[in-house]
Structure 1
Amino acid sequence: MIVFYRGLHCPACRGQLNQMEQRFDDLQALGVDPVAISADSRERAERARTEWGLTKVPVGYDLPVSVMRDWGLFVSGSANDQEPERFNEPGLFLVKPDQELYYASILNMPFGRPPLDELIGGMAFVLDRAYPARGGV
Protein backbone atom coordinates (compact mmCIF):
# COMPACT_ATOMS: atom_id res chain seq x y z
CA MET A 1 0.00 0.00 0.00
CA ILE A 2 1.45 3.28 -1.14
CA VAL A 3 -0.14 6.36 0.37
CA PHE A 4 0.88 9.65 -1.17
CA TYR A 5 0.15 12.30 1.45
CA ARG A 6 0.25 16.07 1.01
CA GLY A 7 2.78 16.77 3.75
CA LEU A 8 3.31 18.08 7.26
CA HIS A 9 0.96 21.03 6.64
CA CYS A 10 -2.08 18.76 6.12
CA PRO A 11 -4.29 17.84 9.12
CA ALA A 12 -6.28 15.36 6.99
CA CYS A 13 -3.02 13.56 6.18
CA ARG A 14 -2.19 13.40 9.86
CA GLY A 15 -5.51 11.67 10.50
CA GLN A 16 -5.01 9.24 7.62
CA LEU A 17 -1.48 8.31 8.65
CA ASN A 18 -2.54 7.96 12.30
CA GLN A 19 -5.16 5.43 11.17
CA MET A 20 -2.49 3.58 9.19
CA GLU A 21 -0.31 3.54 12.30
CA GLN A 22 -3.15 2.14 14.43
CA ARG A 23 -4.03 -0.54 11.85
CA PHE A 24 -0.45 -1.28 10.75
CA ASP A 25 -0.41 -4.79 12.25
CA ASP A 26 -3.81 -5.58 10.69
CA LEU A 27 -2.49 -4.49 7.30
CA GLN A 28 0.64 -6.60 7.67
CA ALA A 29 -1.47 -9.60 8.72
CA LEU A 30 -3.12 -9.30 5.29
CA GLY A 31 0.29 -9.23 3.62
CA VAL A 32 0.16 -5.48 3.03
CA ASP A 33 3.29 -3.39 3.59
CA PRO A 34 2.10 0.21 3.96
CA VAL A 35 4.32 3.18 3.19
CA ALA A 36 3.57 6.92 3.15
CA ILE A 37 5.36 9.30 0.77
CA SER A 38 5.30 13.06 0.22
CA ALA A 39 7.27 15.83 -1.43
CA ASP A 40 8.26 17.11 2.00
CA SER A 41 11.95 17.46 2.75
CA ARG A 42 13.57 14.93 5.04
CA GLU A 43 13.34 17.42 7.90
CA ARG A 44 9.60 17.96 7.42
CA ALA A 45 8.98 14.21 7.02
CA GLU A 46 10.86 13.53 10.26
CA ARG A 47 8.81 16.24 11.99
CA ALA A 48 5.63 14.57 10.73
CA ARG A 49 6.79 11.18 12.06
CA THR A 50 7.59 12.69 15.46
CA GLU A 51 4.68 15.12 15.82
CA TRP A 52 2.14 12.63 14.46
CA GLY A 53 3.46 9.72 16.58
CA LEU A 54 4.33 7.46 13.64
CA THR A 55 6.58 4.63 14.78
CA LYS A 56 5.57 1.81 12.42
CA VAL A 57 4.57 3.44 9.13
CA PRO A 58 7.63 4.07 6.93
CA VAL A 59 7.66 7.67 5.69
CA GLY A 60 9.31 8.61 2.40
CA TYR A 61 10.15 12.15 1.32
CA ASP A 62 11.50 14.34 -1.50
CA LEU A 63 8.97 12.99 -4.02
CA PRO A 64 9.79 14.72 -7.31
CA VAL A 65 7.00 16.36 -9.32
CA SER A 66 7.89 14.11 -12.27
CA VAL A 67 7.13 11.02 -10.16
CA MET A 68 3.90 12.58 -8.89
CA ARG A 69 2.85 12.96 -12.51
CA ASP A 70 4.00 9.40 -13.36
CA TRP A 71 1.54 8.13 -10.72
CA GLY A 72 -1.22 10.40 -12.06
CA LEU A 73 -1.33 12.49 -8.91
CA PHE A 74 -2.62 16.04 -8.91
CA VAL A 75 0.09 18.60 -8.15
CA SER A 76 -0.62 21.79 -6.19
CA GLY A 77 1.29 24.96 -5.49
CA SER A 78 1.43 26.65 -2.11
CA ALA A 79 -1.59 28.72 -1.12
CA ASN A 80 0.03 29.96 2.11
CA ASP A 81 3.38 29.99 3.90
CA GLN A 82 2.68 26.66 5.64
CA GLU A 83 2.62 24.72 2.36
CA PRO A 84 5.62 23.72 0.26
CA GLU A 85 6.10 25.35 -3.14
CA ARG A 86 4.89 22.15 -4.89
CA PHE A 87 3.23 19.09 -3.39
CA ASN A 88 1.04 16.18 -4.42
CA GLU A 89 -2.59 15.80 -3.57
CA PRO A 90 -3.66 12.49 -1.97
CA GLY A 91 -3.35 9.14 -3.67
CA LEU A 92 -3.59 5.58 -2.42
CA PHE A 93 -2.48 2.55 -4.41
CA LEU A 94 -2.48 -1.16 -3.72
CA VAL A 95 0.25 -2.84 -5.73
CA LYS A 96 0.56 -6.63 -5.90
CA PRO A 97 3.94 -8.30 -5.23
CA ASP A 98 4.37 -8.77 -9.00
CA GLN A 99 4.05 -4.94 -9.29
CA GLU A 100 0.61 -5.10 -10.92
CA LEU A 101 -1.62 -2.22 -9.88
CA TYR A 102 -4.63 -3.62 -8.03
CA TYR A 103 -6.38 -0.53 -6.63
CA ALA A 104 -6.03 3.20 -7.19
CA SER A 105 -7.57 6.25 -5.54
CA ILE A 106 -6.47 9.66 -6.78
CA LEU A 107 -7.90 12.89 -5.36
CA ASN A 108 -7.51 16.54 -6.23
CA MET A 109 -8.57 17.71 -2.76
CA PRO A 110 -7.47 16.75 0.76
CA PHE A 111 -10.89 15.28 1.65
CA GLY A 112 -12.76 12.22 0.39
CA ARG A 113 -10.08 9.60 1.06
CA PRO A 114 -11.10 5.92 1.14
CA PRO A 115 -11.85 4.83 4.72
CA LEU A 116 -9.12 2.48 5.95
CA ASP A 117 -11.54 0.11 7.68
CA GLU A 118 -13.42 -0.30 4.39
CA LEU A 119 -10.15 -0.95 2.53
CA ILE A 120 -9.08 -3.56 5.07
CA GLY A 121 -12.46 -5.28 4.77
CA GLY A 122 -12.16 -5.18 1.00
CA MET A 123 -8.65 -6.62 1.08
CA ALA A 124 -9.80 -9.49 3.30
CA PHE A 125 -12.65 -10.18 0.85
CA VAL A 126 -10.25 -10.10 -2.12
CA LEU A 127 -7.81 -12.50 -0.49
CA ASP A 128 -10.54 -14.87 0.65
CA ARG A 129 -12.15 -15.08 -2.80
CA ALA A 130 -9.18 -14.45 -5.10
CA TYR A 131 -11.16 -11.50 -6.47
CA PRO A 132 -9.58 -10.07 -9.63
CA ALA A 133 -8.58 -6.45 -10.17
CA ARG A 134 -11.26 -4.50 -11.99
CA GLY A 135 -11.24 -1.80 -14.67
CA GLY A 136 -8.41 -3.21 -16.77
CA VAL A 137 -10.41 -3.86 -19.93
Structure 2
Amino acid sequence: MPRPLPGKPAPALEARLVGGGTWRLAEQTPQNFSLVVAYRGLHCPICKIYLKDLHSRLGAFAERGVEAVALSADSEERAAEAKQGWQLPDLALAHSLDLDTARSWGLYLSAGHGKTSAGVDEPALFTEPGVFLVRADGTLYYANTQSMPFARPSFEDLAKAVDFALQKNYPARGEAE
Protein backbone atom coordinates (compact mmCIF):
# COMPACT_ATOMS: atom_id res chain seq x y z
CA MET A 1 0.00 0.00 0.00
CA PRO A 2 1.47 3.41 -0.90
CA ARG A 3 2.38 5.76 1.90
CA PRO A 4 0.69 9.16 2.22
CA LEU A 5 2.51 12.12 0.69
CA PRO A 6 3.06 15.45 2.42
CA GLY A 7 1.15 18.25 0.73
CA LYS A 8 -1.62 15.86 -0.32
CA PRO A 9 -4.86 15.10 1.54
CA ALA A 10 -4.20 12.90 4.57
CA PRO A 11 -5.91 9.50 4.52
CA ALA A 12 -9.20 9.19 6.37
CA LEU A 13 -8.71 8.50 10.05
CA GLU A 14 -11.13 7.75 12.83
CA ALA A 15 -10.94 5.85 16.08
CA ARG A 16 -13.04 5.53 19.21
CA LEU A 17 -11.96 7.59 22.22
CA VAL A 18 -11.42 6.28 25.71
CA GLY A 19 -14.38 7.61 27.67
CA GLY A 20 -16.70 7.68 24.66
CA GLY A 21 -17.08 9.34 21.32
CA THR A 22 -15.14 9.03 18.10
CA TRP A 23 -12.16 11.08 16.95
CA ARG A 24 -12.34 11.84 13.23
CA LEU A 25 -9.58 13.70 11.44
CA ALA A 26 -12.10 15.21 9.01
CA GLU A 27 -13.92 16.88 11.93
CA GLN A 28 -10.84 18.49 13.49
CA THR A 29 -10.52 22.28 13.39
CA PRO A 30 -7.07 23.15 14.76
CA GLN A 31 -5.68 26.63 14.27
CA ASN A 32 -2.59 25.13 12.60
CA PHE A 33 -2.14 21.36 12.88
CA SER A 34 -3.58 18.14 14.21
CA LEU A 35 -0.81 16.12 15.84
CA VAL A 36 -1.54 12.42 15.38
CA VAL A 37 0.62 10.07 17.43
CA ALA A 38 0.33 6.34 16.78
CA TYR A 39 1.61 4.27 19.68
CA ARG A 40 2.16 0.54 20.03
CA GLY A 41 -0.15 -0.11 22.98
CA LEU A 42 -0.36 -0.87 26.67
CA HIS A 43 2.39 -3.47 26.39
CA CYS A 44 5.01 -0.86 25.44
CA PRO A 45 6.95 0.77 28.30
CA ILE A 46 8.57 3.24 25.90
CA CYS A 47 5.10 4.36 24.79
CA LYS A 48 4.26 5.16 28.40
CA ILE A 49 7.26 7.48 28.70
CA TYR A 50 6.61 8.99 25.27
CA LEU A 51 2.93 9.71 25.87
CA LYS A 52 3.59 11.11 29.34
CA ASP A 53 6.02 13.53 27.68
CA LEU A 54 3.38 14.47 25.11
CA HIS A 55 0.83 14.95 27.89
CA SER A 56 3.20 17.33 29.69
CA ARG A 57 3.53 19.41 26.50
CA LEU A 58 -0.14 19.64 25.50
CA GLY A 59 -0.27 23.26 26.66
CA ALA A 60 2.81 24.18 24.63
CA PHE A 61 1.28 22.58 21.54
CA ALA A 62 -2.06 24.31 22.17
CA GLU A 63 -0.23 27.68 22.28
CA ARG A 64 1.02 26.85 18.78
CA GLY A 65 -2.44 25.98 17.48
CA VAL A 66 -1.75 22.24 17.55
CA GLU A 67 -4.31 19.73 18.86
CA ALA A 68 -3.07 16.24 19.72
CA VAL A 69 -4.50 12.75 19.70
CA ALA A 70 -2.73 9.47 20.46
CA LEU A 71 -4.13 6.26 19.05
CA SER A 72 -3.44 2.56 18.92
CA ALA A 73 -4.98 -0.68 17.76
CA ASP A 74 -5.41 -1.69 21.42
CA SER A 75 -8.83 -2.69 22.68
CA GLU A 76 -10.91 -0.18 24.61
CA GLU A 77 -10.04 -1.94 27.87
CA ARG A 78 -6.29 -1.82 27.26
CA ALA A 79 -6.42 1.82 26.13
CA ALA A 80 -8.46 2.78 29.21
CA GLU A 81 -5.90 1.02 31.39
CA ALA A 82 -3.12 2.98 29.69
CA LYS A 83 -4.93 6.31 30.05
CA GLN A 84 -5.51 5.77 33.76
CA GLY A 85 -2.33 3.90 34.65
CA TRP A 86 -0.06 6.22 32.67
CA GLN A 87 -1.84 9.29 34.10
CA LEU A 88 -2.92 10.91 30.81
CA PRO A 89 -6.17 12.65 31.84
CA ASP A 90 -5.93 15.50 29.32
CA LEU A 91 -4.69 13.55 26.29
CA ALA A 92 -7.27 12.43 23.75
CA LEU A 93 -6.53 8.70 23.64
CA ALA A 94 -8.14 6.63 20.91
CA HIS A 95 -8.29 2.87 20.52
CA SER A 96 -9.31 0.08 18.16
CA LEU A 97 -7.50 1.62 15.19
CA ASP A 98 -8.38 -0.40 12.12
CA LEU A 99 -5.23 -2.10 10.78
CA ASP A 100 -6.08 -1.32 7.15
CA THR A 101 -6.34 2.33 8.14
CA ALA A 102 -2.98 2.04 9.90
CA ARG A 103 -1.47 0.64 6.71
CA SER A 104 -2.95 3.52 4.69
CA TRP A 105 -1.00 5.88 6.94
CA GLY A 106 2.20 3.96 6.26
CA LEU A 107 2.41 2.52 9.76
CA TYR A 108 4.38 -0.67 10.23
CA LEU A 109 2.61 -3.62 11.85
CA SER A 110 4.18 -6.16 14.17
CA ALA A 111 3.08 -9.58 15.35
CA GLY A 112 2.89 -10.23 19.07
CA HIS A 113 5.66 -12.22 20.74
CA GLY A 114 4.25 -12.77 24.23
CA LYS A 115 5.00 -10.69 27.32
CA THR A 116 7.12 -7.56 27.14
CA SER A 117 9.58 -6.26 29.71
CA ALA A 118 6.57 -4.50 31.28
CA GLY A 119 4.98 -7.92 31.87
CA VAL A 120 2.07 -7.21 29.53
CA ASP A 121 1.13 -9.48 26.63
CA GLU A 122 1.52 -8.02 23.17
CA PRO A 123 -1.62 -8.21 21.02
CA ALA A 124 -1.61 -10.58 18.04
CA LEU A 125 -1.03 -7.57 15.72
CA PHE A 126 -0.27 -3.96 16.60
CA THR A 127 1.10 -0.80 15.01
CA GLU A 128 4.59 0.50 15.40
CA PRO A 129 5.01 4.21 16.23
CA GLY A 130 4.19 7.10 13.96
CA VAL A 131 3.98 10.87 14.36
CA PHE A 132 2.08 13.05 11.91
CA LEU A 133 1.20 16.71 11.54
CA VAL A 134 -1.89 17.40 9.46
CA ARG A 135 -2.68 20.97 8.42
CA ALA A 136 -6.06 22.47 9.26
CA ASP A 137 -6.98 22.03 5.57
CA GLY A 138 -6.54 18.24 5.92
CA THR A 139 -3.26 17.94 4.03
CA LEU A 140 -0.39 15.97 5.47
CA TYR A 141 2.52 18.20 6.51
CA TYR A 142 4.89 15.90 8.42
CA ALA A 143 5.15 12.12 8.68
CA ASN A 144 7.50 9.96 10.70
CA THR A 145 6.94 6.20 10.86
CA GLN A 146 9.13 3.64 12.54
CA SER A 147 9.55 -0.11 12.44
CA MET A 148 10.87 -0.22 16.03
CA PRO A 149 9.85 1.40 19.31
CA PHE A 150 13.21 3.13 19.76
CA ALA A 151 14.58 6.60 18.84
CA ARG A 152 11.32 8.48 18.30
CA PRO A 153 11.22 12.20 17.44
CA SER A 154 11.13 14.32 20.59
CA PHE A 155 8.07 16.44 21.25
CA GLU A 156 10.32 19.30 22.36
CA ASP A 157 11.99 19.25 18.94
CA LEU A 158 8.65 18.91 17.19
CA ALA A 159 7.30 22.00 18.97
CA LYS A 160 10.38 23.94 17.82
CA ALA A 161 9.86 22.63 14.29
CA VAL A 162 6.25 23.85 14.36
CA ASP A 163 7.51 27.30 15.42
CA PHE A 164 9.97 27.36 12.53
CA ALA A 165 7.43 26.09 10.01
CA LEU A 166 4.89 28.72 11.02
CA GLN A 167 7.38 31.60 11.18
CA LYS A 168 8.95 30.80 7.82
CA ASN A 169 5.84 29.47 6.09
CA TYR A 170 7.97 26.38 5.45
CA PRO A 171 6.50 24.05 2.82
CA ALA A 172 5.74 20.37 3.33
CA ARG A 173 8.77 18.32 2.28
CA GLY A 174 8.87 14.78 0.91
CA GLU A 175 6.06 15.74 -1.45
CA ALA A 176 7.70 14.69 -4.72
CA GLU A 177 6.27 11.55 -6.28
Provide the TM-score with structure 2 as the length reference: 0.76
Match of 2:67, SS?
Answer: coil
Q: In the TM superposition, what whole-angstrom CA distance separates every residue of 1:25-66 from its partner, at most 9, and x where no partner exists?
A: 000110110100000111110000000000111000001111
Question: In proportion to residue count, which structure has more strand?
Answer: 2
User: 1:37 aligns to what?
Assistant: 71
What is the distance in 1 between the residues matched to 2:162 and 2:83?
A: 26
Structure 1 residue runs without a partner (length 5+): none
Deviation digits for residues 99-135 of structure 1 (CA, Å, limit 9, x no counterpart): 1100000000000110111111110111111111112
What is the SS of the residue equivalent to 2:143?
strand
Tell me, in whole angstroms, the C-alpha distance in 2 between the residues paired with 1:100 and 1:112.
26
User: For structure 1, which segment, 74-83 or 99-108, has the greater mean C-alpha deviation from structure 2 after superposition?
Assistant: 74-83
Partner residue of 1:8? Answer: 42
1:70, distance to aligned residue in structure 2 (A): 0.7
What does residue 48 of structure 1 align with? 82
Pick one of 91, 98, 119 that aligns with 1:57: 91
Q: What amino acid is aligned across from residue 90 of structure 1 in structure 2?
A: P
Unaligned runs of 5+ in 2: 1-34, 116-120
**Over aligned residues, Cα RMSD in angstroms?**
0.7
- 2:130 matched to 1:91? yes
Match of 2:168 among 112, 125, 129: 129
1:95-134 matches, within 5 Å, as 95-134=134-173
Give the secondary-structure state (helix, strand or coil) at the position aligned to 1:34: strand
- Following TM superposition, by how much is the alpha carbon of 1:136 offset from its aligned partner in structure 2, in angstroms? 1.0
Answer with 124-133 or 39-48: which moved more: 124-133
Alignment partners' CA distance in 2, 1:9 and 1:99:
31
Q: Report the count of equivalent residues.
A: 137
In the TM superposition, 1:15-30 aligns within 5 A as 15-30=49-64
Structure 2 SS opposite 1:28: helix
Q: TM-score, normalised by structure 1?
A: 0.97
Relative contact order, CA 8 A, sep 6+: which one is greater?
2
